[in-house]
Structure 1
Amino acid sequence: MPRIRPLSRRRILAHIPLIAAAGFASSLRAAEPPEQDIADMAADAVATGVPPALGMIAIENGRLGTPSAFGVEARGRPSAASATGRWHIGSNAKSMTATMVARLVEQGLLDWKASLADLLPDVPMREDYRAVSLPDLLSHRAGLARNSAAGLAAMPDDDPRSEQERRRAYAAAALTEPPVGPIAVGAGSYSNTGFFLAGLIAERATGLPFEALMRRELFVPLGMTSVGFGGTPPGEIAGHSKGGPVYGAAGDNPDFLRPAGGLHLSLADWGSYILDQMRGQRGEGRLLRAESYHFLHRPQPGSNNGLGWGLEAAPGGKPMWSHDGSNGRWFGIVAVLPDEQRAAMVVANAAGAEVEAVVNRMVVRTLGLA
């Protein structure tokens, strides 16, 4: 069993660019799967060890299918990956953060129109950011860097502060940096920092840690009992870094960045969440009013970004919600065709270009997009 070491600041700086991944739709043109059964495609991929394991689940006609898993829990170990095991989904969890914030808006604890200056009154910030709104943060249109170099530099090795204290320090540093792009205009610039700030704001509004908020507002209402935060624990499916399995703290990015995507869960629970997003669009969701789901899935002005979702159309012009995500040890994609009540979720316990190509092909084939 590998020794789990806490992430030092140097290790954080090495890993943190890998917390985020871009949208899925833009890669479709390059995805031309061979005429091969999806299960055979997955089996062939894991037989090469790239990746060690794949998990997938689909929704057809508004019904959640049976999860499937292929390969082994960890490279060099014989235990088969279980379809009921837990998988890290990286930035695919961003829409979950956005949905939690929408719940707080419906409860009157937050306001979509409130400014960052009002939401974080004790955090110093550049004038550029004072009028930024929650939708700007959650659609990558706040002008913030993907990851804050100043924020990470404010995190010393073996930092004794609480997760919440570190979040405030990161925010204060990040908001001193100049914008990297326009604010509330056009497509924006992909930013983990925006989701981090939204999570901090939710904590401030409720007095609860981000993890407790997510459980209260999403996971408990949807019966998602498998969710854990950070890397998967020893004895479960492992993420992989530099060819070897990693668990716990070594298997994920730092805990204070979890609002940008830092959880693992079963395929069935991931599918249950996506199914609720689809049903909510039809006024049948369990978490929000229909207008709130519509707002999450509506492009922000001049962009293809919803709140936690990419909204580029699929081939043929079909509406599609999609995202992909990686923390450098895992890679996964979710793609949803809401008008057809269909979706595909595929995740691998490794990252890299070869892994991304396999996962992409499986999603494309599952949804018949190429």
Structure 2
Amino acid sequence: MLRTLLALAALLALPVSATAQPISPAEQARIDAAVTQSLSTYQVPSASIAIVRDGRVVLAKAYGKASERLPVARPELPYQIASNSKQFTAAALLLLEDEGKLNLDDPVSKYLPGVSGREQIRVRQLLSHTSGLQDYWPQDYSFAAMARPVSPSAIVDRWGRKPLDFAPGTQWQYSNTGYVVAGLIAEKVSGEPLLSYLQRRIFRPLGMRSVLDQDKAIGARFPQGYGRAALGPVRPVVPAASGWLYAAGELSMTAEDLAKWDIARINRALLPADDWAEQERTVKLTDGKDSGYGLGVFVGERGGRRMVSHTGEAVGFLSINNVYPDDKAAIVVLTNSWSGAAFTDIARKVAEVVLPAKSSADAGEAAAVTARARALYDQLRRGELDRGQLTDNLAYYFTPQVRQDFQQSLAALGEPTGFTAEGQPALRGGFVTRRFKVTYPGRSLSISAFTETGANPRFEQFLVNPE
């Protein structure tokens, strides 16, 4: 606890950056317009956002309708953050390791019986989604059993005893089940409920006063979850019965409180610095591939910036939390619908407003990648191919038949009138993903390209489709 208190004191003593800039009226107008437009486009009732700039919260604002009884959303209302909770569960395990109560490299069998692969699965593999335990909720809807209350042990009994989907460490596959097992381990070694431990070690020290178990954040005083069936009307949805998200996604909080946690991450405060580094260190699989995931967070690049991020889905709620540590910035978006992409659309548009402009080096790198993609496209439509630009996987994909199909179909279109990058780069499976648009008179094509990270990256994917 002494180390925690000293870390917190260091956080509070940090001076506000002399260059810290509040949201200007012009920026506020752009943000308001972007959020309002996105909610309308995707038919989402409300959004609550928080923005961190230069290591401090510069905006916390809500838009739209929180519920049928709360026609005006307010920033002090807690929204269900679902899988954004995973980073807190992982942080609890890291802190318990600091206390000498467990080791992340211990086998699960040391703490819990009755889990498939318990002798082979390490605790850290539960947190990195590399355990092989089958996910109990991969669906984007409530299945029948979710209408009845459940306990964490019942989830483990039903899904955690199934045969492993793969040998631990050999693949990455998102698994809520793994986090339920991790939560039970945390409770066993700490001797208290997971939420109680998090309140004591993280939430209260950071002044995160809005945090609740999402099962209790239901009713007249809280945002209502909504959804749509296909393109039908927006309707309130029935929440899942209690217990279904637990350590995998049980938390409800305001956007501003989640932003306080992001500030601690940026400043390496509250948790020891090596814990933050451990959480953000992406896990390598046994074949050496980078999973792009640490312990409860995705880690990669977006638009040339290092980003630590996660999303969350609960019944009727979607959220995204993007942290840009090198820019001392973060963007939190919480929405009360689990239909549509308003949450990611808002986060992208807000980033365009509040993040510093790219340096000339960043712009030059983007231009260089676009030029290399155009060169590869031109080779393919001419029936040529420089295999030095391809990974072994992509070289394998481009069989003689595939190359012939590319050449014949693309050459028939003539000379492109344009070739441009679309959207922002993202990380997937250890590769940087990009999209390009190729225009011709009267039509356009879309290219999905993956490249390696680092200097002189090769192409891992290069697929061309009608836009």
Note the C-alpha offset of 1:129.
3.5
Structure 1, residues 239-279: CA drift from partner, whole Å, max 9, x if none? 22453335xxx435642531001221112211111111221
Q: Does 1:147 align with 2:136?
A: yes
Q: Which amino acid aligns with 1:101?
A: L
Note the C-alpha offset of 1:328.
3.2
Moved more, 348-357 or 78-87: 348-357
Counterpart secondary structure, 2:38: helix
Q: Does 1:177 align with 2:170?
A: no
| 1-structure distance, mates of 2:308, 2:109 | 31
Q: What's the C-alpha RMSD, in Å, of the aligned pairs?
A: 2.7
The residue that corresponds to 2:373 in the other structure is none
Q: Which has the larger share of strand?
A: 2
The residue that corresponds to 2:323 in the other structure is 336
Q: How do 1:274-353 and structure 2 match up within 5 A?
A: 274-280=262-268, 285-286=269-270, 288-301=271-284, 302-316=290-304, 318-353=305-340
The residue that corresponds to 1:65 in the other structure is 58
Q: How many equivalent pairs are there?
A: 314
2:177–2:248: 8 Å Cα contact kept in structure 1?
yes
Larger C-alpha radius of gyration, 1 or 2?
2
**Normalised TM-score (structure 2):** 0.62
Counterpart secondary structure, 1:353: coil
1:138–1:194: 8 Å Cα contact kept in structure 2?
yes
Q: Which amino acid aligns with 2:127?
A: L
Counterpart secondary structure, 2:300: coil
Q: How do 1:1-370 and structure 2 match up within 5 A?
A: 37-47=30-40, 50-74=43-67, 79-120=71-112, 123-126=113-116, 128-147=117-136, 166-186=151-171, 188-230=172-214, 231-242=217-228, 243-245=234-236, 250-252=238-240, 254-280=242-268, 285-286=269-270, 288-301=271-284, 302-316=290-304, 318-356=305-343, 358-366=345-353, 368=355, 370=424
Aligned CA distance change for structure 1 residues 298 and 238 (closer, same or farther; 3 Å): same
2:152–2:246: 8 Å Cα contact kept in structure 1?
no
Aligned CA distance change for structure 1 residues 259 and 315 (closer, same or farther; 3 Å): same
Aligned CA distance change for structure 1 residues 254 and 182 (closer, same or farther; 3 Å): farther
| 2-structure distance, mates of 1:343, 1:95 | 15
Counterpart secondary structure, 2:316: coil
Counterpart secondary structure, 1:111: coil
Q: Which runs of 5+ in 1 are unaligned?
A: 1-35
2:52–2:59: 8 Å Cα contact kept in structure 1?
no
Structure 1, residues 142-180: CA drift from partner, whole Å, max 9, x if none? 01122179xx99x79866xxx7xx322322333321122
| 2-structure distance, mates of 1:276, 1:132 | 30
Which structure exhibits the higher relative contact order, with contacts defined as CA atoms closer than 8 Å and separated by 6 or more residues? 1
Indicate the percent of aligned positions where both proteins have the same amino acid. 25
Q: Which amino acid aligns with 1:223?
A: G
1:88–1:232: 8 Å Cα contact kept in structure 2?
no
1:58–1:345: 8 Å Cα contact kept in structure 2?
yes
Q: Which amino acid aligns with 1:323?
A: H
Aligned CA distance change for structure 1 residues 223 and 173 (closer, same or farther; 3 Å): same
Aligned CA distance change for structure 1 residues 229 and 252 (closer, same or farther; 3 Å): farther
Counterpart secondary structure, 1:311: strand
| 2-structure distance, mates of 1:308, 1:326 | 15
1:181–1:189: 8 Å Cα contact kept in structure 2?
no
Aligned CA distance change for structure 1 residues 340 and 356 (closer, same or farther; 3 Å): closer
Aligned CA distance change for structure 1 residues 189 and 253 (closer, same or farther; 3 Å): farther
| 2-structure distance, mates of 1:213, 1:223 | 15
Counterpart secondary structure, 2:281: coil
1:252–1:262: 8 Å Cα contact kept in structure 2?
no
Note the C-alpha offset of 1:217.
2.1
| 1-structure distance, mates of 2:109, 2:348 | 44
Q: Which amino acid aligns with 1:244?
A: R
**Normalised TM-score (structure 1):** 0.77
2:226–2:337: 8 Å Cα contact kept in structure 1?
yes
Aligned CA distance change for structure 1 residues 207 and 54 (closer, same or farther; 3 Å): same
Q: Which runs of 5+ in 2 are unaligned?
A: 1-28, 229-233, 285-289, 356-422, 425-467
| 2-structure distance, mates of 1:245, 1:354 | 17
Dislocated runs of 4+, deviation >4 Å: 155-159, 366-370
Q: Which amino acid aligns with 2:212?
A: G
1:232–1:239: 8 Å Cα contact kept in structure 2?
no
Note the C-alpha offset of 1:294.
0.7
1:87–1:232: 8 Å Cα contact kept in structure 2?
no
The residue that corresponds to 1:5 in the other structure is none
